[in-house]
Chain A
Amino acid sequence: ETGVTQSPTHLIKTRGQQVTLRCSSQSGHNTVSWYQQALGQGPQFIFQYYREEENGRGNFPPRFSGLQFPNYSSELNVNALELDDSALYLCASSLDGLAGLPSAYEQYFGPGTRLTVT
């Protein structure tokens, strides 16, 4: 059973550019959540995808967007990068992103992508 993987590990971008981060979910999981973790802070929920549909969104502007593919892997896209977007971006996979199912609360995190915006 493979765990959650993310690519790339590190990334340096310039303000105003666009970036795409990738995540492969754990085998058998159909739900992917993305989080932003700024230095010295806890993770902040960006959004969740369940079976290719957005299933919930945190307080992030529309320039943060995502996709989930039929194999349940996922992408996080950020347009018009700002300096404050510098953070560790975490992907977490789980089974059944629906309210009330205990399996939805077992989230398995990847190691993250460290994004630096200069």
Chain B
Amino acid sequence: AQSVTQLDSQVPVFEEAPVELRCNYSSSVSVYLFWYVQYPNQGLQLLLKYLSGSTLVKGINGFEAEFNKSQTSFHLRKPSVHISDTAEYFCAVKDGGGSYIPTFGRGTSLIVHP
């Protein structure tokens, strides 16, 4: 079974600074990878996804992520964060093939300070 590790439970950062949220998954032949954001008292919103093709994926709100197969990682980055980016971020992985049964990480709380 697939497992997902989000290495940081909390990431504090100052506004306009760059940020990287880390995600590693257990090895598999093929995977689909996702990042979601959850604002307080809301459901999850898809930020970006990797299904195939270019390993650098661009998403909404200026976020991007890079798929690294050899390191089984899918780290999320943003060059300059805003206060409004304060939220919980979840990495999710699905093995290629079969019905949609994703495995989520435990989440990383991004806290942007003024």
Q: Which of A4, A94, A99, A104 contacts B43 (CB 8 A)?
A: A4
Chain B hits for A108, CB < 8 A: 46
Could you tell me if B105 and A111 are in contact, using CB atoms closer than 8 angstroms?
Answer: no
Stretch at the interface among A13-21, A38-46, A63-71, A72-80: A38-46
Tell me the residues in window 33-84 of chain B with beta carbons closer than 8 Å to chain A beta carbons.
34, 36, 41-46, 49, 51
Indicate with 1 or 0, residue by residue over B3-31, a CB within 8 angstroms of chain A CB atoms: 01000000000000000000000000000
Q: Name A9's closest neighbour in chain B (CB-CB).
A: B41
Chain B hits for A102, CB < 8 A: 51
Q: Which of B32, B90, B94, B99 contacts A43 (CB 8 A)?
A: B90
A108–B45 CA distance with the chains assembled, in angstroms: 7
Nearest chain A CB to B108's CB is how many angstroms away? 10
Chain A hits for B107, CB < 8 A: 40-42
Q: Which of A4, A44, A99 contacts B99 (CB 8 A)?
A: A99
> Number of B residues whose C-beta is below 8 Å from A?
26
Indicate with 1 or 0, residue by residue over A19-44, a CB within 8 angstroms of chain B CB atoms: 00000000000010100000011111
> Number of A residues whose C-beta is below 8 Å from B?
30
Nearest chain A CB to B3's CB is how many angstroms away? 11
Is A81 interfacial (CB-CB < 8 Å)?
A: no
Could you tell me if A98 and B99 are in contact, using CB atoms closer than 8 angstroms?
Answer: yes
A41–B103 CA distance with the chains assembled, in angstroms: 12
Is A86 interfacial (CB-CB < 8 Å)?
A: no
Chain A hits for B90, CB < 8 A: 42-43
Is B98 interfacial (CB-CB < 8 Å)?
A: yes
Indicate with 1 or 0, residue by residue over B88-110, a CB within 8 angstroms of chain A CB atoms: 00101010011111111111000
Could you tell me if B102 and A99 are in contact, using CB atoms closer than 8 angstroms?
Answer: no
Could you tell me if B104 and A99 are in contact, using CB atoms closer than 8 angstroms?
Answer: no
Could you tell me if A42 and B104 are in contact, using CB atoms closer than 8 angstroms?
Answer: yes
Could you tell me if B51 and A105 are in contact, using CB atoms closer than 8 angstroms?
Answer: yes
A22–B101 CA distance with the chains assembled, in angstroms: 21
Is A8 interfacial (CB-CB < 8 Å)?
A: no
Identify 4 new A-B residue pairs, CB closer than 8 A, beyond the known A42-B90, A111-B43, A112-B43.
Answer: A97-B99, A105-B32, A107-B46, A109-B45
